[in-house]
Chains A and B, each alone.
Chain A
Amino acid sequence: QKEVEQNSGPLSVPEGAIASLNCTYSDRGSQSFFWYRQYSGKSPELIMSIYSNGDKEDGRFTAQLNKASQYVSLLIRDSQPSDSATYLCAVLFGGGSYIPTFGRGTSLIVHP
């Protein structure tokens, strides 16, 4: 069974801090990794994609991928209350799959 695991949280951080969200996956052959943000009552919004080992930065967001350890993380610097949402990790498994598998998401709360 190919799985994507996330801690459901909630993860609570103070405003201005770094929020670290983690995701592990079961398939060593996975190639593509995505982070979505979902506000309560809204649909998921793609915020980051990463395909190779290392870090990828986009504004306050940094995605980190370690294929050997089979984890991908999302760092949010200078967290703002507006970052409070559920963050979904999605992984495109190997073997010819063309549809990502989603984790359950981590709820992030940024308090003033």
Chain B
Amino acid sequence: SAVISQKPSRDICQRGTSLTIQCQVDSQVTMMFWYRQQPGQSLTLIATANQGSEATYESGFVIDKFPISRPNLTFSTLTVSNMSPEDSSIYLCSVTDREGTIKLFFGSGTQLSVL
């Protein structure tokens, strides 16, 4: 499987600020996704990061709040904008395997706490 590097690994932020999370993959991958995992909850898909075009957002998530970039097939960023304590979560980058099947592999995650 691909090696997925995600940073920062954790951050503590003030209300109203923004944080950009980076996801770097060691090889070209077809699909990249961003998930959120709130405390004690399962994984919720935020959006599919599309290379060279706007991300595809799931219901309940909007571009103004979670802008996503994917300039190439190995890199993506997720920004959490105008943060509130409700945004405190683990944010995970995920990719399909090299063969482009539907097996998902996850980065190490970003633990975000908003004060």
* Alpha-carbon gap, A46 to B108, bound state (A): 13
Q: How would residues 33 to 70 of chain A score, 1 for a CB under 8 Å from any chain B CB and 0 otherwise?
A: 01000000111111001000000000000000000000
B104 an interface residue at 8 Å Cβ cutoff?
Answer: yes
Set of chain A residues within 8 Å of B31, measured between Cβ atoms: 98
Give the interface residue-count category, chain A: 10 to 19
**A103 nearest in chain B by CB position:** B42
Whether A102 lies near B43 (C-beta < 8 A) is yes
Nearest A residue (CB) for B44: A102
Counting chain B residues whose Cβ lies within 8 A of the other chain, the interface size class is 10 to 19
With both beta carbons as reference points, the residue of chain A lying nearest to B93 in the complex is identified as A43
Partner of B108, one of A34, A43, A99, A100: A43
Residues on B with beta carbons closer than 8 Å to the beta carbon of A105: 42
Q: In the bound complex, what is the Cα–Cα distance between A49 and B107 (angstroms)?
A: 19
Q: Which residues from B are CB-within-8-Å of A19?
A: none
Contact partners of A34 in chain B: CB under 8 A: 103-104
Nearest A residue to B109 via CB reads A43
Cβ–Cβ contact A100 & B104, under 8 A: yes
Between A and B, 7 residue pairs with Cβ closer than 8 Å are: A44-B43, A45-B106, A88-B43, A98-B31, A100-B102, A102-B42, A103-B42
Given A43-B92, A44-B106, 8 more pairs with CB closer than 8 A: A34-B104, A41-B111, A44-B43, A44-B92, A49-B103, A88-B42, A99-B102, A104-B42
Residues of A bordering B, CB below 8 Å: 32, 34, 41-46, 49, 88, 90, 92, 98-100, 102-105
